[in-house]
């Protein structure tokens, strides 16, 4: 799985194809979408026209909360595959645990069947906490390959990252730039100046150095290009220590325990969908 990908949450359908094509031209090979985002078909249009072999791309999509449950998973993945115009996704994620409906275990068992059939090369989860992961491990036979979670300098999720490492689960960071908020911090700005890089590049390099997969979102070609240009410099141990100290435990998104039970406060669009 590439350590850097393009996220397309809140990218309008008519902007998505161009953003994905720009990213692929800049060297990205991993795209993160979701049924919720309403732009799988536009991602599919980019996949179809980009001229890159399917096996060289890494396509992730996610099952939306209302499609959890034994009988709903298969039709949901078929809809996503049809929109994306692919025979399989490289990674299929349960978007949120939705503890209030308590269907994530049976949903995961349906994911195991999709994996056996080859419709998803890898299966994982998103926004799962340690108790949710422990329950999957206790009640099913497959450990998720990936947990995609909110993770940025202001919200570093140390305990969950350690749990992932102990169980060979890839930590994938969503809102890796804290939706832009992390870029204004004086420590980040100072490091950017010292390394001759941008604040976004400092934060993304930090993700790479601590072993995360990161999927920054942008539709601006210069930023898309900037965000993958992070492999020609290294942060020092002291730099990493300074960045580690920025953790304030402050989310930009909702608490996974709450999603599906009440308005999330994350974005108007998600709130309307829940």
**Active site residues per annotation:** 37
Q: Is position 200 an interface residue for ligand NAD (rule: CB under 6 A)?
A: yes
Half-sphere exposure for 159 (CA within 13 Å, toward CB): 6
Binding mask 243-262 vs ligand NAD (x if CB under 6 A, - otherwise)? ----------x---------
Q: Which of 98, 136, 215, 228 binds ligand NAD (CB under 6 A)?
A: 215
Nearest approach, Cβ of residue 25 and ligand NAD (Å): 17
Touching ligand NAD, residues 65-84 (CB under 6 A): none
Q: Which of 4, 9, 161, 202 binds ligand NAD (CB under 6 A)?
A: 9
Residues in the chain: 274
Q: Is position 225 an interface residue for ligand NAD (rule: CB under 6 A)?
A: no
Task: Tell me the β-bridge partners of 93.
Answer: 62, 124
Gap between the Cα atoms of 105 and 89, Å rounded: 21
Q: Is position 7 an interface residue for ligand NAD (rule: CB under 6 A)?
A: yes
Q: Which of 45, 178, 230, 239 binds ligand NAD (CB under 6 A)?
A: 178
DSSP 115-133: HHHTSEEEEEEES--HHHH
Question: Which residue in 29, 36, 118 sits closest to 76, CA to CA?
Answer: 36
Q: Which of 90, 174, 185, 228 binds ligand NAD (CB under 6 A)?
A: 174
- Helix and strand numbers (H, E) in the chain are 11, 8
Instruction: Return the ∠ at Cα 119 (arms to 32 and 144), rounded to 5°.
Output: 65
Q: Which of 29, 161, 164, 217 binds ligand NAD (CB under 6 A)?
A: 217
Q: Are 146 and 1 in contact (CB under 8 A)?
A: yes
Nearest approach, Cβ of residue 155 and ligand NAD (Å): 11
| 3-state SS class at 60 | strand
Which residues of this protein are in contact with ligand NAD, per CB under 6 A? 7-9, 32, 95, 126-127, 148, 174-180, 183, 200, 215-218, 223, 226-227, 253
């Amino acid at each position: 799985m590439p350590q850097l990908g393009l996220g397309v949450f809140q990218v309008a359908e008519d902007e998505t194809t161009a953003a994905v094509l720009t990213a692929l031209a800049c060297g990205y090979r991993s795209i993160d979408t979701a049924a919720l985002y309403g732009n799988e078909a536009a991602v599919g249009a980019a996949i179809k026209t980009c001229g890159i072999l399917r096996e060289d791309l890494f396509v992730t999509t996610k099952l939306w909360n209302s499609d959890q449950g034994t009988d709903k998973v298969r039709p949901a993945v078929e809809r996503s595959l049809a929109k994306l115009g692919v025979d399989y996704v490289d990674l299929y994620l349960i978007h949120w645990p939705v503890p209030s409906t308590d269907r994530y275990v049976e949903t995961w068992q349906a994911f195991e069947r999709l994996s056996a059939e080859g419709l998803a090369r890898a299966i994982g989860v998103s926004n799962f906490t340690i108790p949710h992961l422990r329950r999957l491990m206790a009640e099913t036979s497959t450990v998720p390959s990936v947990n995609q979670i909110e993770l940025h300098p202001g919200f570093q999720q140390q305990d969950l990252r350690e749990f992932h490492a102990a169980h060979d689960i890839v930590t994938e960071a969503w809102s890796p730039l804290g939706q832009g908020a992390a870029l204004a911090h004086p420590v980040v700005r100072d490091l950017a100046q010292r390394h001759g890089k941008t604040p976004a590049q400092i934060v993304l390099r930090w993700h790479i150095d601590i072993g995360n997969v990161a999927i920054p979102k942008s539709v601006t070609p210069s930023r898309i290009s900037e965000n993958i240009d992070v492999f020609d410099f290294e942060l020092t141990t002291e730099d990493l220590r300074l960045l580690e100290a920025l953790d304030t435990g402050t989310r930009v998104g909702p608490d996974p325990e709450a999603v599906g039970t009440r308005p999330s406060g994350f974005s108007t669009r998600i709130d309307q969908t829940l």
